[in-house]
Amino acid sequence: MTATVTVLTAGYVGPRTASTVSLLRDGDTLVVVDPGMVADRSLILAPLAAAGVTPEQVTDVVFSHHHPDHTLNAALFPAARYHDHWAIYQDDLWTDRPADGFALSPSIRLAATPGHTPEDISTLVDTADGLVVLTHLWWSAEGPPEDPYATDPEALHASRRAVLALGPVLVVPGHGEPFAPGAATPH
């Protein structure tokens, strides 16, 4: 369990919207999750540089789902493989594969977690401190309890329960600061 998680920028929702963008490291695997909308690209690139990583070094990009607020800045990472719910894309190669259970490295894997959209995936990271889950099942620590844009609220709640059953020590939500789940976490 050598992977680390660094939040490059914490997202928000309101009159303006930004995605939470994170960097995962596991050996030579460098993953950016949800490089979407931000107020300025420097909010992704500056903390990435501070972490000692250039955009060209990023090996993989994961999209939790295909809304622009989570994908808009994907082109910042020219050498990366791109992962979504059903394939890996690199340059002109499209390789079909289901995301559920797919391992990007020994400590980083994907899980199907439908609800917000039918195609949502979460990224599961085994760290020295325990499991960290990067997901759009929650926008922030507060939920919302009912996702107003969920295409399938029943599936969303089932996915939340499944993620919480894994016992994560930290959840990195789609539009907020990381939080430690507890009894008050909407499920």
The 10s digit of each residue's pLDDT in 136-146 is 999 988 889 99
Instruction: Tell me, yes or no, whether 184 lies in a domain.
Output: no
Query: Can you give the pLDDT at residue 168?
Result: 98
Task: Give me the phi and psi of 14, to 5 degrees please.
Answer: 165, -140
State yes or no: pLDDT of 2 exceeds 90: no
CA-based radius of gyration for the chain: 15
Average pLDDT over residues 43-63: 98
Query: Can you give the pLDDT at residue 47?
Result: 98
Question: Does the pTM exceed 0.95?
Answer: yes
DSSP H or E segment with residue 34 = none
- Within the chain, strands assigned E span 4-9, 21-26, 29-33, 60-62, 81-83, 87-90, 93-96, 103-105, 108-112, 121-127, 130-135, 170-173
For the sheet containing 21-26, what is the strand order?
4-9, 21-26, 29-33, 60-62, 81-83, 87-90, 93-96
| CATH code: domain of residue 47 | 3.60.15.10
Residue 123: band (very low, low, confident or very high) from pLDDT cuts 50, 70, 90 = very high
Query: Can you give the pLDDT at residue 143?
Result: 85
Question: 127 - beta bridge partners?
Answer: 3, 130
State yes or no: pLDDT of 1 exceeds 80: no
Encoded amino acid at 125, one letter: V
Instruction: Tell me, yes or no, whether 186 lies in a domain.
Output: no
Instruction: Tell me, yes or no, whether 169 lies in a domain.
Output: yes
- Indicate the number of domains in the chain: 1
The 10s digit of each residue's pLDDT in 86-116 is 999 999 999 999 999 999 999 999 999 999 9
Encoded amino acid at 161, one letter: R
Contacts of 182 (CB under 8 A, 6+ apart): none
State percent of the chain over pLDDT 70: 99
Instruction: Tell me, yes or no, whether 24 lies in a domain.
Output: yes
Q: Which domain holds residue 136?
A: 4-173
Instruction: Tell me, yes or no, whether 116 lies in a domain.
Output: yes
